[in-house]
């Protein structure tokens, strides 16, 4: 049980670090607040909230994984290396794909309600 709480506290400190230091994470958090407010004002069904919550959780988690990849790459080399570039660009590409998919799903959910 002690080990579990220790692991939890390390994970929590990762989230606090992202909140304090990661510019992109803060941007996604701002986007989250805007989407939640828009959802409250628009009025979403349970299943629509379920979808939005999964997208938000996935986006914030993926952004943190991207930051972790950047850190690990920077730890391995300070030189310009093709593999380092690939690793960072692949991780950033994963975030971009998820962001585009989330935006498209968001538009599919919100736009028909706004113009109904």
Ligand X SMILES: Nc1ncnc2c1ncn2[C@@H]1O[C@H](COP(=O)(O)OP(=O)(O)OP(=O)(O)O)[C@@H](O)[C@H]1O
Q: Which positions are annotated as active-site residues?
A: 63
Calpha distance 116→114 (Å, rounded): 6
Identify which of residues 17 and 81 has a Cβ nearer to ligand X in the complex.
Answer: 81
Q: How far is the CB of 5 from ligand X (least distance, A)?
A: 30
How many residues touch ligand X (CB under 6 A)? 10
Whole-angstrom CA distances from 111 to 27, 93, 96, 106, 107 are: 23, 26, 22, 8, 5
Q: How far is the CB of 7 from ligand X (least distance, A)?
A: 26
Which of 98, 99, 116 has its CA nearest to residue 43? Answer: 116
Q: How far is the CB of 73 from ligand X (least distance, A)?
A: 6
49-58 burial: b if 16+ Cβ within 10 Å, else e: eebbeebbee
Hey, what are 83's tokens?
């593999």
Q: Helix-strand-coil percent breakdown of the chain, rounded to 5?
A: 90, 0, 10
Identify which of residues 96 and 108 has a Cβ nearer to ligand X in the complex.
Answer: 96
Site for ligand X in 33-92 (CB under 6 A): 70, 77, 80-81, 84-85, 88-89, 92
If binding is defined by CB under 6 A, does position 17 make contact with ligand X?
no
Identify which of residues 42 and 77 has a Cβ nearer to ligand X in the complex.
Answer: 77
- Residues of the shown chain interacting with ligand X in the complex, contacts defined by CB under 6 A: 24, 70, 77, 80-81, 84-85, 88-89, 92
């Amino acid at each position: 049980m002690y080990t579990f709480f220790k692991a939890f506290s390390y994970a929590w400190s990762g989230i606090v670090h992202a909140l304090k230091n990661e510019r992109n994470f803060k941007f996604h958090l701002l986007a989250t607040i805007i989407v939640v407010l828009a959802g409250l004002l628009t009025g979403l069904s349970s299943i629509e909230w379920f979808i939005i919550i999964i997208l938000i959780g996935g986006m914030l988690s993926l952004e943190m994984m991207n930051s972790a990849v950047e850190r690990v790459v920077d730890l391995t080399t300070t030189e310009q290396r093709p593999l380092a570039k690939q690793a960072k660009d692949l991780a950033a590409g994963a975030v971009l794909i998820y962001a585009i998919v989330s935006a498209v799903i968001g538009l599919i959910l919100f736009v028909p309600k706004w113009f109904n």
